[in-house]
């Protein structure tokens, strides 16, 4: 995809509706939806038929992501793994990063260099430094930007339906 496409502006309002959805629950739902529109390499083995969504134990998203345990994606049950060591990230298919992961991001990148892991973050610095999907708030809405180059390096294919909704695709 050439250059930077400005696509549809998202998404759910954060505080305007009568019963606003808490921000982190909304982000947890986004993580699930991103995984729905992502294709992993066919040769990738999902151990135990599980889709591992990894998160720092200190992350505020840990609790809302727990609500995804009952769901599945493409026939694979969702397992929420709380990983506090960089070495433990190899078995992940989705990794959510926030500001608490900022310091170890460079190490994480090295470890995941050859891995097909969908990295999602709501931290601006990590977003600027090579995560695949970056969440941010804009006018009381959550929007996301996609780094297609990083996705290709991870051998992940993001659906055009998802790309169409992104604020920017780089």
Partner 1 sequence: MSKLPSIGSSRIGRWMTLANLATAATALLVASFLLILFQFLALRRTLIEDIGVQARIISENSTAALLFNDSQASTETLAILDASPAIQAAGIFNLEGKQLASYRRDGAEPVQAPPLSLVEAGHEFRFDHVVLARRIDIDGRGIGYVVLRANLGQLYARLASYAGLTLMVALGSLAVAYLLVARMRRVVKSAEAHLHYLAHIDPVTGLPNRHAFNERRSSALAEVNQSGGSIGLLLLDLDNFKIVNDTLGHHSGDLLLWWRNACLNACGAAMSFAVSAVTSSRSFSTSPPEATALRWRKKSLRRWQRLSTWM
Kindly state the smallest distance separating residue 121's Cβ from partner 1, in Å: 18
Kindly state the smallest distance separating residue 72's Cβ from partner 1, in Å: 8
Kindly state the smallest distance separating residue 12's Cβ from partner 1, in Å: 5
Nearer to partner 1, 56 or 147 (CB): 147
What is the enclosing helix (H) or strand (E) of 124?
helix 124-128
Nearer to partner 1, 83 or 167 (CB): 167
Cβ atoms < 10 Å from Cβ of 1: 10
Kindly state the smallest distance separating residue 76's Cβ from partner 1, in Å: 10
Nearer to partner 1, 76 or 104 (CB): 76
The answer to whether 122 and 101 have CB atoms below 8 angstroms apart is no
Measured in degrees and rounded to the nearest 5, phi and psi for residue 149 equal: -65, -45
Peptide bond into 63 cis (omega under 30): no
The answer to whether 55 and 81 have CB atoms below 8 angstroms apart is yes
Nearer to partner 1, 83 or 158 (CB): 158
3-class secondary-structure state, position 142: strand
Kindly state the smallest distance separating residue 68's Cβ from partner 1, in Å: 13
Residues of this chain that bind partner 1 (CB under 8 A): 8-12, 30, 33, 36-37, 72-74, 159, 161-162, 164-165
Nearer to partner 1, 35 or 95 (CB): 35
- Facing residues of 79 across strands? 52
Exposed, middle or buried by CB within 10 Å (0-12, 13-18, 19+), for 131? buried
Q: Are strands 76-82 and 72-73 parallel, antiparallel or unpaired?
A: antiparallel
């Amino acid at each position: 995809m050439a250059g930077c496409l400005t696509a549809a502006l998202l998404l759910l309002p954060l505080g305007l509706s009568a019963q606003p959805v808490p921000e982190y629950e909304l982000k947890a739902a986004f993580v699930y939806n991103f995984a729905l529109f992502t294709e992993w390499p066919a040769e990738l083995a999902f151990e135990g038929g599980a889709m591992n969504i990894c998160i720092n134990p200190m992350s505020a998203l840990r609790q809302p992501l727990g609500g995804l345990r009952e769901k599945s994606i493409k026939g694979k049950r969702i397992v929420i793994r709380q990983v506090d060591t960089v070495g433990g990230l190899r078995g992940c298919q989705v990794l959510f990063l926030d500001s608490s992961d900022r310091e170890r991001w460079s190490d994480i990148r090295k470890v995941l260099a050859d891995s097909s892991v969908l990295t999602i973050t709501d931290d601006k610095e990590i977003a600027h430094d090579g995560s695949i999907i970056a969440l941010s708030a804009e006018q009381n809405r959550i929007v996301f930007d996609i780094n297609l180059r990083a996705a290709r390096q991870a051998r992940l294919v993001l659906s055009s339906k998802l790309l169409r909704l992104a604020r920017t695709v780089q």
